[in-house]
Each structure stands twice: as C-alpha cells, then as structure tokens.
Structure 1
Amino acid sequence: MIQEVLQSNQNIFLIALLLVSSVLVTKFSSRLGVPSLVLFIMVGMSVGSDGLNIIYFNNAELAQLIGVMSLVIILFEGGMQTKWGAMKKVLAPSITLATLGVLLTSSMVALLAKFILDVSWLEAFLVGSIVGSTDAAAVFAVLKGKNIRNKLGATLEAESGTNDPMAVFLTITFIQLLTEDSSSILGTIMLFFWQMGAGAIVGLLLGYISSFSLNRINLDSSGLYPLFAIAFALLSYSISSLVQASGLLAVYITAVVIGNSELAYRYSILRFNEGFGWMAQILMFVILGLFVFPSEVFTADIMWKGILISLILMFLARPIAVYLSLVFFRYTNKEKVLLSWSGLRGAVPIVLSIFPMLAGVENSQLIFNIVFFIVLTSALIQGSTITWLAEKLSLVSDKLSNPVHSLELISIGKANVEIIEFDVSENNRIVGEKLENMDLPDKALINAIIRDGDIITPYGQTAIQAGDTLYVTVSRRVKKQVQELLKEVNGSAEEVIE
C-alpha cells in the first residue's frame, strides 16, 4: 500500500516538473524563433527512455487517445477565435485547399516516397495521406499574435481547421486497402461525403444549441460557463464520431458558431479556452515526444529520407497544390508563395501515423519515424520563418484591432448587467465627442476611462480620445446596441475588423 502511494506521489511530481519545464520553454520560443511545439516535443524526448530514461512510454492506444482529445481542445480554442466576417470571404478557397489541395499534396508526396522509402504503392500513398494536410494546432500556435494580413490568416486558419477530414479519410482508406482483402471504392467515396456533410451539420446544430444554452441557462458560478462550453465541444466530437462523421470538423464548426455569437460570458470562456488549449498542446506534444525513440528516428537512413521528402513537400508538392487549387481565386503571387510556405505539419500527421501501428500495417514503424521527422523539419524550418517571409513579401498588416471585451465582473446568475471594455481607435466616430452628447441608450453608463495608463473618472464634459479604453456598464438587453454604437467609424457604420 505504501509503495503504491509513493509511486503515485512520484508520478505527480514528474507531471509537475514536466508542466513547469514545458511552460518555461515557451518563454524561449519567441526569442529563439522556434515554434513552441518543437520545444514541447524535445521536453518529452529528453525525459523518455532514449533520453534521461525517467519515463518509459510506448502505449500507442493511449498516445492516440491523448492526441485526439488534445486536438479537440485546440480546434475548439482556435475556432472560438475565428472571425466569421473574415472567414466567409475566404471560405471557398479554404475548402478547396482543404480538399483538392490535400489530395494533390498527398499524391505528389506518394509518387516520390514510393522510390525514396522503397515501399509498396499503397504504403507510399499512406505516407502521402498522413502528411498531406496542414495542422491546426501548429498553424494556430504560429499565427497567434502575428500581424499577417487578415485575408491570409483567415485562409490558413480555415484551411487547417477543415482539412482534417480529407487527411483522415485518405489515411483510413489506404489502411483498409492494406489490411483488408476487398474494399468498395464507391463506398469509400460516399463515406467521405458523409463525413464532411454530417460533420458540418452536427457542428452547426451543436453550435446553435450551445450558444442558446450558454445565454439562457443561469449557472451559480461564472467558472461553470467555460466548462459548459468545453462539454459541448466534446459532445460535438463524440456525436459525430458515433455516426461515422468527421468529429474534428464538427468541433471546429461548433466553435466558430459559438465564437461568433453574442455570449454572456465570452471573455471568461475565451480566457479559459486559451489556458486549456495551451495545456492540451503541452500534454499532446510531450506525450508524442515520449512516444518517440530518438535512437530510431535520428539515424542516417531515416534522416536523409525524411529530409528529402520534407523538401519535396515544402518546395514542390505544397506549392503546386496551392497554385492549382487557387487558380480561380483572387490571390496574388506573393500571397500564394506565403500560403505555400505556411503549410505547417504538426500533431495531426503524428497522431495519424499511429493509426497504421494500431492496424498492424507491415512498415508502420518506418512510416511513424519518417512522419515524425517530417513534422520536426516543417516546424523548425517553416514555422520559424513564416513571419520573416510575410515581412519580406510585404504581407503584414499594422492595422490596430478594435475589440469589445466583456469583463464580466458581475455574475449573470445574480444580475442582468455586464461591464464591457472597448479600445478606441482614431477612426472611431466617437473620438472627440463629449460624454453628455453621446447617444447612449438607457441602462448604459461609461463609468471609467483609461488614458495613457491613468484612470479618469468621467463626467459630462469629458471628451473621448483615440487610445482611450472605455469601461461601460450595460444591461444585457442593450449590450449589442452599445457595441454597435462604439464600433461605428467615420464615414460609415461599417464595423472595424477585429
């Protein structure tokens, strides 16, 4: 009994050390110009059996489970941050990249992987399918906080959030062809359309249901609302999976619907999801690092083959797929170059490369090692140079955001009012206007202004200045009306893009 308790305490201590070290390495991520996912993987590899030999982990089923659960959390957090106004403008090219682009990329990688890896055609196409899609976790992590133009950022986020169904479909199809005597081609094609369509429908339904529930159900504690939202994300994935639809697509769509709805506790939910998303990233990449045996991956044979396939993927397959997929859409050559270079590979390919192991595919270990090396190469080379390339191509934006955040200092379960925060930019119509002249509705009051780091107590003669941060107490009934008034810009009522 005592031995079991001591072992449990040791495991808790190791988990705490891994979490502390993983959080600390994010501090060096931006300074080194290396994506944090690479550092998380290195933390896992360093304490694994081929490193310090502190933790031995080779459970493929558990690694897959943790990977999928983490992807659900990361996709939900990324989808909540996605602005529908920007996304709908690039929806058609994004879906084209997520379907035709993945198919073209997978095919070109497979054609050359056949000879590089000396495997069968089906195994070569399996490798191509696994690395054919961009990764939402990697894309969201790299683009977060960057000032890449809205159009390109929205395209990359929408593509990475919606291309998992194609990658999963192709991977499972080729695994079935390798492990089963017969498989219906028509049946697999119909399955793909079912996965996409049913996943989208489930995502939309759960998105509207969850938005309605979050606004209508008064919970006793504000901390329960973020958990309630996460529960709908897991529900969206599980329901879709049970009907053989795309669970990851459903989660992303559910998150987009919730994130673009008027939510009572938006700020609390977003902040919780951000922290939980980081936790999921750390857990997933550390576990995947533990699952890897560096002595098997970093061999001369695996490394030169992996580098060759990575170069083909980065400089041939992805660019050709992007240019062909976007031939009928209005993107400049510079934008296509950046989209080609931003096709990051991350957790999804690694998780998918575990599938052949679980299915007993003959060269599954070789496939996993190659895919893992390709992901590392993509993250190190592409992930660390996206911002630099965007600046060189003059595809960065210095446009200031104009957010309206709810501070939620008062529990809606107890009262029917909120405090919202608004950053005033120079093109807002209210700049220069005195508070006594503002046409604020009843039950709305500006009760504090932050100007140049100082707090100003507002009165009737106080004039709004660009750069001010306003704190406004509003009734839920007039919240939307106040937000629209604050966001009006000079010359039109068009909202500033957040």
Structure 2
Amino acid sequence: MFSTDQFLMLIAFFFIIGVLTTKFSSRFGIPALILFIGIGMLAGSDGLGLIYFDDASLAQLIGIFALVIILFEGGLSTKWTTIKPVAVPSLLLATVGVILTSLIVAVAARFVLDVTWLEGMLFGAIVGSTDAAAVFAALKNHNISEKLGATLEAESGTNDPMAMFLTLSFITLLTTDHAGFLSVAGDFFIQMGVGLAAGVLLGKAASWLINRVNLESSGLYPIIAMGFALLTYSLTAVVGGSGLLAVYIAALVVGNSDLTYRHTIFSFNEGFAWMMQLGMFVILGLLVFPSELFQLEIIIQGLFLSTVLILLARPAAVFLTLIGFSYSLREKLLVSWAGLRGAVPIVLATFPLIAGLPNAQLFFNVVFFVVLTSALIQGTSISPAAEKLGLTGPKKVTPFHSLELVSIGKANAEIIEYTVNEETRVIGQTLSDIDFPPDVLINAIIRGETLVTPYGETTIENGDILYILVSKKRKKDLKTLLGERRSVPED
C-alpha cells in the first residue's frame, strides 16, 4: 500500500515518463499508444507489481472521461471549411464503413473464437472504429493532401459514436429477451439525431457564454469550455442521445466561432487531451494481465482477426463506401491502411466485462491484442505508406516564432491571427495604401521564419501571418476588408 507521498511521486513519474515517450514515439515511428500501454503493463501486477488494478468499471469511467476530452479537443482544432467538402464521404465511412467493417470481422470472429453470431457481431462492433490521435500522430511530420487529411480527421472524430452504439446494442440483444433489431435500428436514429441537435445547441450556448462572461482570470475560460464538454456528453446521454457525437459537434461549433481567449482555451485543451490520453492508456495497460494476454491461443486468434481487419474488412469497407466519390486508387489505399485502432476498442471491450457476458474476458484479451498489432503494424508504417503512394509532400517545418494570442476582455479588443492567401483582397498592397477601419492595427507580420516589423511601406504577401489588434465592434469591417467570407468570424 502506497503512502500519499509515494503515490504522488509515482504519478509524477508516470506523467514525466509518459510525456518523454512522445519524443521517442515521433523519432522512431512507434505510436504513443503502445508506449503508454507498455508503461501501464510494466507497472501492473504482472510487471513490476507496483499497482494491482482489475476494476473494469473504473477503467471504463476514466476511458469515457478521456474520450470526451480528446474528442472535444479534436473538434476544437478542426476547421469546418476544411472538412465541409468531404463531410458526406467522411460520415459514410463513420457509419456505413463501421458497419461493414464490423460485419466482416464478425464473420471471422464467429468461427475463430467459436462464439454465437450475436457475440461475433459484438466483437466486430468493438473493433469497428479508428483512432484519430494515433493516425495524426503518425502523420504529423508530413504534408498529406488536404482532402485526404480532412477525410481521415472527420471520420475518426465521428465514428466512435457508431461503434459505441453498435456495441451497446448487441449487448442489449444478448442480455434482453424482448429486444429486437427493429427497436435497435430505431434507437440509432434517435441517438444520432438527439446527439447532433444537442451538440449544435450546447456548442452555441458555450460560445455565447464564453464571449459574454467577464472573468477575472484568463485561465478560467478553458475550465468553462471543459465543463461544457462534460455537460454536453452527460446531458445528451441522459436524454437518450449519443453523447460522444454531441461532444464532437459542440466542439466543432465552438472551435469555428469567435471566442474570447481563444488561444488560451485551445492550448489548455490540447495539453489536457494529451494528459487524458496518457492516463487512459496507462489505466488500460494496468487492466490487462500480460500472462493472460500473451498465451499461444490468444496470439493466434488475435493475429488472424487482426489480419482480417487490416487486409480485408477495412479495405472492403473503404472501397465500397467511397464508390462514386472522387478518390483515387492510391487515396483509397491509404485511407484503408490508416484505419488504425486505438484506445476506443479497449474501452468498449470493458462493457461486456461489466455486463458479465460469458466470453467477456476472452473478448477483452483478443481486442487488446488486435489493438496492439494494429498499432505496431499500421502505426509504424502509415508514413512510409503515404510516401510510397506519393501522397505526402516535404517534411513539415515548425516555425521558430511564437506569439501568444490574447483577448483583452476589459478593453473589448483582441489580437487576431490571420493567414494571407490568394483570395485576400489586400494582397500585394502596402500598409499605407490599405484603408483600415478605425481601431485596427497590424502589430506583427510573420513571413516564413522571420518576424517583420510592420510600417507604412510594408507589402502584404501571400502566406504572411498577420497579427491584428482590433476592437470587437470593428471585426465585421475588418472581415469585409480582407475579403474572405470566413476569414474572421463574426460574433
């Protein structure tokens, strides 16, 4: 039994080691998921024996809490203008694609695991969704085509609700005599419809409150945003909707709205989402017992089902779902290979454990092994595959500059970051020639890796990043001057 001081020291080591592993993850191409889970397995009773943990209910609670934070951060950082052109194929991948993947895996699971058809369907549903964080961690150092990146981002952000719905539905069918497929199908439309509506409404409410309340500390604004994320999930789930879908939609609304202390909110949620990923993966690593996982029978079953998932189910789902859309063969191949499984299937595998299903422990162990093999095989090869298919550009270069964006709440003004593009009306003009509205001032210009001090004869060039001090009442005028409909959002 740990004392309080020893427990806090252990947590500190977990956080420090967990964060440092992300450096090795990006350098050696090993997904952070594997490293974090490895930390948990090492610290568990089958490893160093530091922590004994077998509480599936607590692991599920932590996992869902972490998923809410991760989905919220993902939605905040997603630009609607980027995913709008691929919204339809992405949503089809997130719904029809998940169903097709689950069905194909279910057939294999029925015979490999020697279970009933319904249990096979349950297993297929558990491993049906992809992991956004793992995919983009693997691709973050490469320029992937905007369409392809947006497709993967939108699919990964919206397919978790479908996988959870299918998982819970099959558990209901297995545990309730009077449940039928028609009632389950009806529940699907209710859950998704309520989730969509709740996400939009609560997202707008969150944006309105954040912009209207005048708090003493800027650090309190991210707390409000996080509170709304948790409220969105729980309130939607209580009224019978998909809480995960609602969280992602709400985050999209908030992230694409004009926000006070926008940079502070985004930075906090990015760091907090990383912390939640670390904690969730470590907990899931503690929950599994390696002595049970790495048995010959589990290894054979896991390898076979992983092969079916990676080489048959995912590609079949992608190619069938994207029929009629303008995706090349190479793009479909990469989308197929980028179907990386992550923490969500492991979290979903705790539901049968809690429900007390006969094959629940078998499912959990095999799902865990499938996730590990998917992360190791696909996660380490996504970037080489993208390069081989010619779908990446030059390696991304991280700029050396850093300029904190602020919202000056009491002065009713903000500093806005704006990237000049070919559609910007003032491109090619000098600052002295531009008829800026009152209460608008260009504070700095970032050009490549150089900080340009603006003065009257400075010319605006394509790709410049402008930092503009503007009063809130002049934001609409500034938007009109720059000339892009969504360049600077209105209140």
Give the TM-score, by structure 1 length: 0.91
Corresponding residue number in structure 2 for 1:159 = 155
Q: CA–CA distance in 2 between the matches of 1:173 and 1:456?
A: 58
- Aligned match for 1:130, one of 113, 123, 126: 126
Q: CA–CA distance in 2 between the matches of 1:380 and 1:54?
A: 26
For residues 163-205 of structure 1, what are the alpha-carbon distances to aligned partners after superposition, in whole Å with 9 as ceiling and x for unaligned? Answer: 2222122212221222233312221111111111111111111
For residues 375-423 of structure 1, what are the alpha-carbon distances to aligned partners after superposition, in whole Å with 9 as ceiling and x for unaligned? Answer: 111111112222222222222356999x9x99444531x2111222345
User: Any idea what SS the aligned residue of 1:447 has?
Assistant: strand
The range that moved more, 253-262 or 385-394, is: 385-394
> Is the counterpart of residue 73 in structure 1 residue 69 in structure 2?
yes
Corresponding residue number in structure 2 for 1:183 = 179
CA distance change for structure 1 residues 431 and 170 in 2, over 3 Å: closer, same or farther?
Answer: closer
Q: CA–CA distance in 2 between the matches of 1:448 and 1:325?
A: 46
CA distance change for structure 1 residues 197 and 455 in 2, over 3 Å: closer, same or farther?
Answer: closer
Unaligned segments of structure 1, at least 5 residues: none
User: Any idea what SS the aligned residue of 2:441 has?
Assistant: strand
The range that moved more, 51-60 or 389-398, is: 389-398
CA distance change for structure 1 residues 82 and 143 in 2, over 3 Å: closer, same or farther?
Answer: farther
> Is the counterpart of residue 438 in structure 1 residue 434 in structure 2?
yes
Q: Percent identity?
A: 57
AA in 2 matched with 1:292: V
Contact 1:407 1:420 in 2 (8 A): no
Q: CA–CA distance in 2 between the matches of 1:362 and 1:421?
A: 56
Contact 1:221 1:411 in 2 (8 A): no
Matches within 5 A, 1:186-201: 186-201=182-197
Q: What is the RMSD computed on CA atoms of the aligned residues?
A: 2.5
Q: CA–CA distance in 1 between the matches of 2:487 and 2:466?
A: 17
- Aligned match for 2:207, one of 205, 211, 224: 211
AA in 1 matched with 2:408: S
For residues 144-168 of structure 1, what are the alpha-carbon distances to aligned partners after superposition, in whole Å with 9 as ceiling and x for unaligned? Answer: 4542111111111211222222212
Corresponding residue number in structure 2 for 1:348 = 344
Corresponding residue number in structure 2 for 1:411 = 408
Corresponding residue number in structure 1 for 2:46 = 50
> Is the counterpart of residue 259 in structure 1 residue 255 in structure 2?
yes
Corresponding residue number in structure 1 for 2:268 = 272
> Is the counterpart of residue 7 in structure 1 residue 3 in structure 2?
yes
Contact 1:138 1:347 in 2 (8 A): no
Deviation of residue 347 (structure 1)? Answer: 1.1
Matches within 5 A, 1:313-328: 313-328=309-324
User: Any idea what SS the aligned residue of 1:147 has?
Assistant: strand
Q: CA–CA distance in 2 between the matches of 1:453 and 1:149?
A: 23
> Is the counterpart of residue 373 in structure 1 residue 377 in structure 2?
no
Aligned residues: 485
Contact 1:71 1:137 in 2 (8 A): no
Q: CA–CA distance in 1 between the matches of 2:417 and 2:134?
A: 30
Contact 2:341 2:375 in 1 (8 A): yes
Corresponding residue number in structure 1 for 2:328 = 332
Corresponding residue number in structure 2 for 1:36 = 32
> Is the counterpart of residue 17 in structure 1 residue 13 in structure 2?
yes
The range that moved more, 185-194 or 416-425, is: 416-425
> Is the counterpart of residue 96 in structure 1 residue 69 in structure 2?
no
> Is the counterpart of residue 117 in structure 1 residue 113 in structure 2?
yes
Corresponding residue number in structure 2 for 1:244 = 240
Q: CA–CA distance in 1 between the matches of 2:339 and 2:448?
A: 40
CA distance change for structure 1 residues 427 and 87 in 2, over 3 Å: closer, same or farther?
Answer: closer
The range that moved more, 108-117 or 361-370, is: 108-117
Q: CA–CA distance in 1 between the matches of 2:482 and 2:233?
A: 37
- Aligned match for 1:475, one of 458, 468, 471: 471
Contact 2:143 2:396 in 1 (8 A): no
Deviation of residue 485 (structure 1)? Answer: 4.2
For residues 269-323 of structure 1, what are the alpha-carbon distances to aligned partners after superposition, in whole Å with 9 as ceiling and x for unaligned? Answer: 1111110110111011111111111111112111121111101101101111111
Deviation of residue 480 (structure 1)? Answer: 4.7
Deviation of residue 457 (structure 1)? Answer: 4.1
CA distance change for structure 1 residues 124 and 92 in 2, over 3 Å: closer, same or farther?
Answer: same
AA in 1 matched with 2:119: E
User: Any idea what SS the aligned residue of 2:228 has?
Assistant: helix
Q: CA–CA distance in 2 between the matches of 1:201 and 1:427?
A: 33
The range that moved more, 326-335 or 363-372, is: 326-335
Contact 1:222 1:411 in 2 (8 A): no
AA in 2 matched with 1:411: I
Unaligned segments of structure 2, at least 5 residues: none
- Aligned match for 1:231, one of 227, 234, 246: 227
Contact 2:32 2:134 in 1 (8 A): no
Contact 1:42 1:286 in 2 (8 A): yes
The range that moved more, 317-326 or 133-142, is: 133-142
